[in-house]
Amino acid sequence: MIKPKFGPAGNSDSFYQEGFSASVDMPKWLAARELDAFEYSFGRGIRLGTEGAKAIRAEAEKYGIQLSVHMPYFINLATEEDEKKIKNIGYFVDSLKVAEALGAKRAVFHPGSASGGDRGAILQRAKVFFKEIIATLDDMNLMNVTLCAETMGKINQLGSLEEVIELCNVDERVWPTIDFGHLHCRGLGAINSKEDYAAILDKLENGIGTERAKTMHVHFSRIEYTKGGEKMHHTFADVQYGPEFMPLAELIAERGYEPVFICESKGTMAEDAKSMKDMYFSAINGLLK
Ligand SMILES: [Zn+2]
């Protein structure tokens, strides 16, 4: 049975409006909404301790919620300064320790900056440093959570589809996080059809093989962009912003992919994750007709 997973990045506004505040209540809340994934953000720093993580883990296991974490936004694989490199390694080490306590399967990160020089040289530098980071994590026995390199929405950030494929090819244990909203933005409105999605999936399969492509990590939301790329995330109700999810749902169903879908809508991420799940099942039912 092919089974993608669906859930939000962080808690929806409605979670708080209903009187909940603690993440330990999140797994039960999500399960009641027929969701089975959640991404915990360490974006602005790792503020979750090991004990808190273990309490969330127990609830997540009880309610069948697969957890991932989003590592700090400060990560920059392209950095050249030794002091910053040490800090970067620290972000990985600290995130992965808590991710393990949380029972998270995946840890998403932003590759870093692509400004200030030749883009190819910056990517090469990032790949060399990434390899060093992985070696350090191996030494510390911290490579049990899958590292997922994310496609980024701003053109001056490392994280085109091609760059993410190259980072995945640094080590076969690295997985892609394909943020389709980000790819739409950095391509200044690049995703307008099922063919546009198919081209992305084909490139991914050719670049990293079908196993990792089929089980990719996905971020999805409608996003507004300017000439530099991503401007801001919107909700599924903001239909003036792309991309549309349904053509992707159809391809995922047709190709038998089983990704983890994390919805990053602004405030309605759980509700929109459920809409994504419904669209996926309507695509599956369409195939059976
Ligand atoms: Zn991200």
183 CA to middle of ligand 1, Å?
12
- Residues lying with their CB under 5 A of ligand 1, a single-atom ion: 150
pLDDT range class, residue 240, cuts 50, 70, 90: confident
Contact 220, 263 (CB under 8 A): yes
Cα-to-centroid distance, 141 and ligand 1 (Å): 25
Distance 110 CA to ligand 1 centre (A): 6
- 272-286 core/surface letters (b: 16 or more CB in 10 A; e: else): bbbbbbebbeebbee
Summarize the confidence of residues 240-250 as an average pLDDT. Answer: 92
CA distance 281 to 266: 23
Rounded mean pLDDT of 55-62? 98
Q: Output the CA 202–ligand 1 centroid distance in Å.
A: 22
Distance 252 CA to ligand 1 centre (A): 21
Q: What percent of the chain has pLDDT over 70?
A: 99
- C-alpha 184 – ligand 1 centre gap (Å): 14
Q: What are phi and psi of 67, to 5 degrees?
A: -100, 145
170-187 residue pLDDT tens: 999 999 999 999 999 898
Q: Which residues are 108's β-sheet partners?
A: 70, 148
Give the model's pLDDT for residue 222.
Answer: 85
How much distance in Å is there from the Cα of 287 to the middle of ligand 1? 32
Q: Quickly state the pLDDT bin for 289 (edges 50, 70, 90).
A: confident
Q: How many domains does the chain have?
A: 1
CA 219 / ligand 1 centre spacing (Å): 8
CA 117 to ligand 1 centroid distance, Å: 24
CA 47 from centroid of its chain's CA atoms: 19
CA–centroid distance, residue 242 to ligand 1 (Å): 18
pLDDT exceeds cutoff 90 at 247: yes
| Residue 116 CA: distances (Å) to CA of 83, 196, 233 | 19, 30, 27
Residues 6+ apart with CB under 8 A from 27: 38, 56, 59, 60, 62, 63, 65
121 Cα to the center of ligand 1, angstroms: 23
AA letter at 139: D
Model confidence pLDDT, tens digit, residues 101-118 = 999 999 999 999 999 899
For residue 108, report the distance from its CA to the centre of ligand 1, in Å.
7
Name the token pair of 160. Answer: 């085109």
In the numeric block, which tokens belong to residue 2?
Answer: 């092919």
Residue 28 sits in a domain of what CATH number?
3.20.20.150
Tell me, in angstroms, the distance from the centre of ligand 1 to residue 72's CA.
9
Q: How far is the CA of 150 from the centre of ligand 1 (A)?
A: 6
Ligand 1 centre and the CA of 27: distance in Å? Answer: 21
End-to-end CA distance of the chain: 18
pLDDT at 1 exceeding the cut of 70: no
Distance 189 CA to ligand 1 centre (A): 19
Kindly indicate the confidence band of residue 151, based on its pLDDT and cuts at 50, 70 and 90: very high
pLDDT at position 52 is 94
Assess whether pLDDT exceeds 70 at residue 267. yes
Domain that holds residue 117: 5-288
Q: How many residues does the chain have?
A: 289
